[in-house]
Amino acid sequence: GEDVEQSLFLSVREGDSSVINCTYTDSSSTYLYWYKQEPGAGLQLLTYIFSNMDMKQDQRLTVLLNKKDKHLSLRIADTQTGDSAIYFCAVARGPGGGNKLTFGTGTQLKVEL
């Protein structure tokens, strides 16, 4: 099955950029997502990218996809304390997209003053 890996923890200073990385194994994955989870809450969809794209920018968020290396990253510009949360990448299972997602292990982002 699909494996999705992330580093567990990232600490940055307020105002710096944060880069959260994710690797996956299934080359047929077509939709790749980033979700944010605050303590005790559900998941909030931040952004997503199709596998035929290599970059997507949405305000402070930039998603980069290296399909050859099966590597996905999320860059948060001008990181704020409100960005502190756990960030999950998720990959749509199998070709054609679909809604069954495999989630990464989650990266806890801590933003320090």
Partner 1 sequence: GAVVSQHPSWVICKSGTSVKIECRSLDFQATTMFWYRQFPKQSLMLMATSNEGSKATYEQGVEKDKFLINHASLTLSTLTVTSAHPEDSSFYICSATNQGTGRAGELFFGEGSRLTVL
| 44 lies in the binding site for partner 1 (CB under 8 A) | yes
Task: For Cα atoms 101, 28, 64, give the angle at the middle one, nearest 5 degrees.
Answer: 75
| 74 lies in the binding site for partner 1 (CB under 8 A) | no
Q: Which of 40, 55, 59, 68 binds partner 1 (CB under 8 A)?
A: 40
- For partner 1, how many residues bind (rule: CB under 8 A)? 23
What whole-number distance in Å separates Cα of residue 65 and Cα of residue 101? 17
How many of the other CB atoms lie within 10 Å of CB of 58?
Answer: 11
> Tokens for 64?
């980069």
| Helix, strand, or coil (residue 12) | strand
Q: Name the one range near partner 1 by CB under 8 A: 12-20, 67-75, 76-84, 97-105.
A: 97-105
The residues of the shown chain that bind partner 1, judged by CB under 8 A, are 30-31, 33, 35, 40-45, 48, 88, 92, 97-106
